[in-house]
Structure 1
Amino acid sequence: MADRTGADLVVERLRAWRVPRAFGYPGAAIAPVVAALDASGGDPEFVPARHEETAAFMATGHAKFTGEIGVCLATQGPSAVHLLNGLYDAKLDSKPVVAIIGEDISGPLGAAHEEIGLSRLFGDVCQFVRYGRAPDQVPAVLDQAFRTAAATRSPTAVVLPRDVQLARVPDLLPQTAGIVSATPGEPLARVLPHAADLDAAASVLGTGQRVAILVGQGAHGAADEIVALADRLGAGVACSLLGKPVLDERLPFHTGVLGEVGTTAAARLMGSCDTLLLVGTNDPWVDYFPVPGQTRTIQIDIDGRRIGTRYPVDVPLVGDAVETLRALLTRVPGRRHEQWRGMVESSVDRWRAEAAERAAVPAEPINPQLVLQELGTRVPRSGALAVDVGSVLYWYARHLELPPGVAAQLCGTLGSMGCALPYAVAAKLARPDRPVIALLGDGAMQFNGLAELITVAHHWRQWRDPRLVVLVLNNRDQSGIGGGRTLTDELADRRPDVPYAGWARLLGLHGVRVDRPELVGPAWDEVLAADRPSLLEAVVDPAVPLNPPEPALADLRGLFADGDAARRVRERMLANRVAVEAEDLV
């Protein structure tokens, strides 16, 4: 067998780790790896993005939608810098991504063109940064990167000099001292809390009179267990933004998303409960948590470092959500509190009526809440949604109740604009047989969406189901905030208008522009039935208020009738928020 190159070894290890595709932007320093991928017959496939940042978002989106390890490629210098935003998204939302960076420095260090200290550059965002200094090191260093990414649910980076990628290697690699050519590992081991901790948690839940469960992304796959526990206790359920797809939001006791972007029902639940169970969540909306001391709290998380970082915890349970909840169900007595459950369900009914009223309020020309409300009854049951940052996030959180089976992802902790369309591309490439919908504002569309629509146009003919629908809420509001800003602010920040639907048609896609409320529903029907990817441009009113719900303090049902007492509790909540934000900055 002919000698291989270091680049061929990269492809072999990606194949061994069952990586279906790598996202990147080609350049000279990574060109040998790209060439080897092109010669691999699509196993794995190289997907060129229009920018390295969107390539990193695609890799993170792949990890989010599939649960697999995402891979992105870049070269040294500014190309590597551009990866950081997507990698920080992976770090903060705990997703495994491996970045492979090519380096081509032939001159003295410190004097080369496009030279940046890559170890320091990636040292904060990646727990693992390694160089492959010789071709026979490539398999081992890549295996270590993949193992670390999987074990820590975080991004890692491997730097490969161009001459290493080009170097010839024998068919049988020598076992150099200190270098072990490893093989891909098996799934991570089960993690279950100690029996004594489970017993303590069951005791707290069993004695609670008003139990609330807050569900995060770490609870994926545990829907049946959460519903069973909630029914056994008569508990109410709320979710974080990242936890929104975990449960059927149409359940009568599901109060919706918690936080500034969330619902009044979720805020009331937190304000009235006496027992709180946190399942796989690190939700940052601490202002909306119960006042410290109001509840007895249990937290389940696979990562013990996260327990108690947002809110005081009485019983920590380090373990897998499904396994831990099943163990709790065998211990928690059936004490369903009907009065509390009735209060929760009445609060949910009031919120749903309020949401419908908000969406029906006339606006000029269209109320953006109506656009998401109309989508709610039309979301394909096998579909996937990618959501961007800005006012569209508020409308998604409140007005789009996700049915079971619909995957939805967003840049939850980093909150970076421009994630939705790269996510959607990754989701569609991973499952070309299912429809995908991207929800974004005109700011995100101008940020990178216009360019990545070219990527969609390049790939769509290979998809079994050609539907990838891009919603652009065109409110011409530069701030990304919307909702009752002053006229002076609006005029100062207003961005140039772009014919978004026309751009889609220019690329050979389907484009629809709607500026009348009665046409919103038919417009959704049209784009969801199209025989190719579509862009729905909805011209919406930037003055529609965001109306964040009042924090939990406002719903303690008269517990603090005294104004001074309420002021003192509000001060404690503010101090708690400042402490958490300060910890995040360290």
Structure 2
Amino acid sequence: MKEIVGESLARRLVEWGVDTVFGLPGDGINGLMEGFRRHADKLRFVLVHHEEAAAFMATGYAKATGRLGVCVATSGPGAIHLLNGLYDAKLDHVPVLAITGMQETSVLGSRYQQEVNTTYLYQDVASYNLMVTNPQQMPAVVDLAIRDALAKRTVAHLTFPNDLQVAPAAEDPYRHVSPGTPPASAPLMSRPALPADPDDLRRAVDVLDAGRKIAMLVGAGAQEAPEEVLAVAEALGSPIVKTLPGKHVVPDDHPLTTGGLGLLGTRPSEDLMENCDTLLMVGTSFPYGKFLPGPDQARVVQIDTDASLIGMRVPVDAPVTADARLALRALLPMLARRDNRAFLTKYQKAMAEWREDMAALQDAGRDPIAPQYLMGCVDAAATDDAILTCDSGTIATWAARHWTIRGDRRFYLSGNLATMAPGLPYAIAAQHAYPGRQVIAFVGDGGFAMLMAEFLTAVRHELPVKVIVNNNNSYGQILWEQIILGYPEYAVRHREPEADFAAWATACGGYGVKVKRPGDVAEAVRAALAHPGPALVDCDVNPNEPPMPGKVKYDQAKHFTEAFLRGQPHKAATLATVARDKINELRS
């Protein structure tokens, strides 16, 4: 049997070390699917129910493993569906290869059914973006696409017309010059860590040595350098603030950290940013500039492997383009150790108070159920190497504040795109990559409903993911954003009947339990986590629980009050919840 182009693609993916492709077949990729079938012993195809989920799974796989994620979709609508997940990969800087189908070359441009110019469609999301038109381009263009995705940590895209997919791989219909045949051996790619320039380090030391009140802000780019981050913070007497994608860089219970920053962050972290005179940013270009020090307040050192990300949010006095681990290791012996720990001690005390406040909100006696308590039960029952994936929305607040990074725990969510619905696909991808670890998706009812069919994917592929649905029967984050803007809520709560996602989980052949009473939460979570297969807890939580910022600004409080004065629905329940939260904090 002659090797077809679809098989040549599959073989080259295997040679690059790819072992999994997430996708959904269609008549626009039948030739590619035949290629995957011929290499099914080495290349696992994870069949999904929606192409958006396939792209999220590829992104989640890349985030969890650091390896290339691969997804495939048919021409037209299938390719369109991939885009949301691909933008998630692009904005969070993870390598993903998207493969799509295209109509036969003979009908291109004739407005054929489902004809969509995917190379135009993908020109913003994909760094490498090509329609393959000659078998002789294989496998060189596959190498180029993968190298681009890995080197730039972004999205690459290849689209294959139908007739080309089934063409003999050795065919040369046009007798064109070949782009060159790569060696038969497995492809290699050199990715040495980038060391810091000595002059850059000296400038950084000058800035840091001159500082009296130093803060560190670390992101996902520092996740391979936890020991170095802690060592530098200890030398500088600096508290460590973490971005949400960088949550697992440093344990949450470590005495040097003040937790997250921004609307989902902590009060000590926000205070710290307002009072520091020097900021060391490592592996982050934190997108919310209003939470960073003002240009006249603090001098800034920023370390990042991508020079284009340095100085995006605040003026930087000492840019260092380098790998975080190498830069911090080189920086450490050059720094003057701080014996005065007063600044650090101040924020350690503030963080101790904050932790007490957060613990107080995990009130088992509140009815309706407090979402903080639900997350607290998950945190208490999960293993020390558990992976938590999360959707965007109010649930991200509860996860950020009540999921404790300790041991080898990990945390993944859509960082810069902040899209809904990746929580379950991320979990499926992470469970596939790490079959021996506990993987938990903490999702809202809104995000889960968008791609809930993928729970069936987990059952069919025997992936024992655990899903915790924080069910407030509304789009909670949007509700509170409307209120903060000074508007009464509108069109953010679902009508009756309420969804019973536990029934869906059971219908899929998994374990499902519906929880409505506070006294049942802890046991339901423990039972689900102990179940050997896919399990889901659908927990009805207080729909009027506000995801309050760590530090409420005057304008936020003003708009909140104005919205209520204009006739905010559910006024009494919301005010009662806010009052109860404050009482619990004061009692702690």
Q: State TM-score, norm by structure 2.
A: 0.89
Q: Is the 8 A contact 2:255 2:348 kept in 1?
A: yes
The code of the aligned residue for 1:48 comes to L
Q: State the partner residue of 2:114.
A: 114
User: What are the within-5 Å matches in structure 2 for residues 493-532 of structure 1?
Assistant: 493-495=493-495, 496-532=497-533
Stretch moving more, 495-504 or 293-302: 495-504
The CA deviation at 1:482 is: 5.1
Relative to structure 1, the CA distance from residue 346 to residue 327 in structure 2 (aligned partners, 3 Å threshold; closer, same or farther) is same
2:368 to 365, 368, 381: 365
Deviations 1:481-528 (A, max 9, x none): 455988973786324411111111111111122222232222221111
Q: Is the 8 A contact 2:135 2:170 kept in 1?
A: no
Q: Is the 8 A contact 1:242 1:410 kept in 2?
A: yes
Q: Is the 8 A contact 2:440 2:467 kept in 1?
A: yes
The CA deviation at 1:545 is: 1.4
2:314 maps to 1:311: yes
Q: State the partner residue of 2:459.
A: 457
Query: Using the alignment, how far apart are the partners of 1:275 and 1:61 within structure 2?
Result: 34
Deviations 1:526-572 (A, max 9, x none): 11111211101111001111111237999xxxxxxxxxxxxxxxxxx
Query: Using the alignment, how far apart are the partners of 1:361 and 1:404 within structure 2?
Result: 26
The code of the aligned residue for 2:118 comes to L
The code of the aligned residue for 2:153 comes to R
2:102 maps to 1:95: no
User: What are the within-5 Å matches in structure 2 for residues 164-183 of structure 1?
Assistant: 164-170=164-170, 177-182=177-182
2:279 maps to 1:276: yes
Relative to structure 1, the CA distance from residue 269 to residue 488 in structure 2 (aligned partners, 3 Å threshold; closer, same or farther) is closer
Query: Using the alignment, how far apart are the partners of 1:394 and 1:492 within structure 2?
Result: 18
The CA deviation at 1:344 is: 1.4
Query: Using the alignment, how far apart are the partners of 2:68 and 2:20 within structure 1?
Result: 10
Query: Using the alignment, how far apart are the partners of 2:34 and 2:281 within structure 1?
Result: 47
Q: State the partner residue of 1:557.
A: none
The code of the aligned residue for 1:412 comes to G
Deviations 1:250-304 (A, max 9, x none): 1012111100111112111111211100000121122211122111110000000
Query: Using the alignment, how far apart are the partners of 1:436 and 1:82 within structure 2?
Result: 26
Q: Is the 8 A contact 2:473 2:543 kept in 1?
A: yes
Q: State the partner residue of 1:7.
A: 6
Query: Using the alignment, how far apart are the partners of 1:303 and 1:492 within structure 2?
Result: 39
Instruction: Determine helix, strand or coil for the equivalent of 2:247.
Output: coil
Instruction: Determine helix, strand or coil for the equivalent of 2:107.
Output: coil
Q: Is the 8 A contact 2:22 2:47 kept in 1?
A: yes
Q: State the partner residue of 1:135.
A: 135
The CA deviation at 1:201 is: 0.6
2:473 maps to 1:472: no
1:321 to 280, 302, 324: 324
The CA deviation at 1:336 is: 3.5
Structure 2 unaligned residues grouped into runs of 5+: 556-588
The CA deviation at 1:170 is: 4.0
Instruction: Determine helix, strand or coil for the equivalent of 1:377.
Output: helix
Deviations 1:447-496 (A, max 9, x none): 11x21111011011xx5xx3x11010111113544559889737863244
1:430 to 429, 433, 453: 433
2:212 maps to 1:215: no
Relative to structure 1, the CA distance from residue 207 to residue 404 in structure 2 (aligned partners, 3 Å threshold; closer, same or farther) is farther
2:242 maps to 1:239: yes
The code of the aligned residue for 1:181 comes to T
Stretch moving more, 544-553 or 389-398: 544-553
The CA deviation at 1:363 is: 4.2
Structure 1 unaligned residues grouped into runs of 5+: 555-586
The CA deviation at 1:113 is: 1.2
Q: Is the 8 A contact 1:483 1:542 kept in 2?
A: no
Query: Using the alignment, how far apart are the partners of 2:482 and 2:124 within structure 1?
Result: 37
Query: Using the alignment, how far apart are the partners of 1:21 and 1:173 within structure 2?
Result: 32
The CA deviation at 1:385 is: 1.2
Stretch moving more, 491-500 or 85-94: 491-500
Q: Is the 8 A contact 2:502 2:513 kept in 1?
A: yes
Q: State TM-score, norm by structure 1.
A: 0.89
1:418 to 398, 418, 421: 421
Query: Using the alignment, how far apart are the partners of 1:489 and 1:196 within structure 2?
Result: 54
Relative to structure 1, the CA distance from residue 504 to residue 108 in structure 2 (aligned partners, 3 Å threshold; closer, same or farther) is closer
The code of the aligned residue for 2:471 comes to N
Q: Is the 8 A contact 2:68 2:95 kept in 1?
A: yes
Q: State the partner residue of 2:192.
A: 189
Q: State the partner residue of 2:65.
A: 66
Q: State the partner residue of 1:287.
A: 290
Relative to structure 1, the CA distance from residue 553 to residue 285 in structure 2 (aligned partners, 3 Å threshold; closer, same or farther) is farther
User: What are the within-5 Å matches in structure 2 for residues 542-557 of structure 1?
Assistant: 542-550=543-551
The code of the aligned residue for 1:87 comes to L
Q: Give the paired residue count.
A: 547
Q: Is the 8 A contact 1:271 1:552 kept in 2?
A: no
Q: Is the 8 A contact 1:420 1:438 kept in 2?
A: yes
Query: Using the alignment, how far apart are the partners of 1:248 and 1:354 within structure 2?
Result: 19
Instruction: Determine helix, strand or coil for the equivalent of 1:428.
Output: helix
Q: State the partner residue of 1:579.
A: none
Q: State the partner residue of 1:297.
A: 300
Relative to structure 1, the CA distance from residue 219 to residue 11 in structure 2 (aligned partners, 3 Å threshold; closer, same or farther) is same
Relative to structure 1, the CA distance from residue 127 to residue 109 in structure 2 (aligned partners, 3 Å threshold; closer, same or farther) is same
The code of the aligned residue for 1:502 comes to A
User: What are the within-5 Å matches in structure 2 for residues 31-110 of structure 1?
Assistant: 31-105=30-104, 106-110=106-110
Query: Using the alignment, how far apart are the partners of 2:553 and 2:245 within structure 1?
Result: 20
Query: Using the alignment, how far apart are the partners of 2:382 and 2:4 within structure 1?
Result: 47
Instruction: Determine helix, strand or coil for the equivalent of 1:47.
Output: strand
Q: Is the 8 A contact 1:88 1:125 kept in 2?
A: yes
Relative to structure 1, the CA distance from residue 491 to residue 83 in structure 2 (aligned partners, 3 Å threshold; closer, same or farther) is closer
Instruction: Determine helix, strand or coil for the equivalent of 1:414.
Output: coil
1:401 to 399, 404, 413: 404
Relative to structure 1, the CA distance from residue 212 to residue 304 in structure 2 (aligned partners, 3 Å threshold; closer, same or farther) is same
Stretch moving more, 66-75 or 542-551: 542-551
Instruction: Determine helix, strand or coil for the equivalent of 1:99.
Output: strand
The CA deviation at 1:68 is: 0.4
The CA deviation at 1:174 is: 13
Q: Is the 8 A contact 2:364 2:519 kept in 1?
A: no
The code of the aligned residue for 1:145 comes to A
The CA deviation at 1:178 is: 4.7
Q: State the partner residue of 2:569.
A: none
RMSD: 2.3
Query: Using the alignment, how far apart are the partners of 2:66 and 2:175 within structure 1?
Result: 33
Query: Using the alignment, how far apart are the partners of 2:62 and 2:360 within structure 1?
Result: 37
Q: State the partner residue of 1:20.
A: 19
The CA deviation at 1:245 is: 1.0
Q: Is the 8 A contact 1:375 1:524 kept in 2?
A: yes
The code of the aligned residue for 2:265 comes to G
Query: Using the alignment, how far apart are the partners of 2:535 and 2:188 within structure 1?
Result: 41
Q: State the partner residue of 2:447.
A: 444
Q: Is the 8 A contact 2:367 2:518 kept in 1?
A: no
Query: Using the alignment, how far apart are the partners of 1:376 and 1:492 within structure 2?
Result: 28
The code of the aligned residue for 1:6 comes to V
Stretch moving more, 439-448 or 98-107: 98-107
The code of the aligned residue for 1:165 comes to Q
Relative to structure 1, the CA distance from residue 178 to residue 37 in structure 2 (aligned partners, 3 Å threshold; closer, same or farther) is closer
Instruction: Determine helix, strand or coil for the equivalent of 1:76.
Output: coil
Q: Is the 8 A contact 2:371 2:541 kept in 1?
A: yes
The code of the aligned residue for 2:461 comes to H
The CA deviation at 1:432 is: 1.1
Q: Is the 8 A contact 2:31 2:165 kept in 1?
A: yes
Deviations 1:225-249 (A, max 9, x none): 0101111111100110100011111
Relative to structure 1, the CA distance from residue 330 to residue 490 in structure 2 (aligned partners, 3 Å threshold; closer, same or farther) is same
The code of the aligned residue for 1:62 comes to Y
Relative to structure 1, the CA distance from residue 552 to residue 221 in structure 2 (aligned partners, 3 Å threshold; closer, same or farther) is farther
Query: Using the alignment, how far apart are the partners of 1:173 and 1:407 within structure 2?
Result: 50
Query: Using the alignment, how far apart are the partners of 2:86 and 2:213 within structure 1?
Result: 40
Q: State the partner residue of 2:393.
A: 390
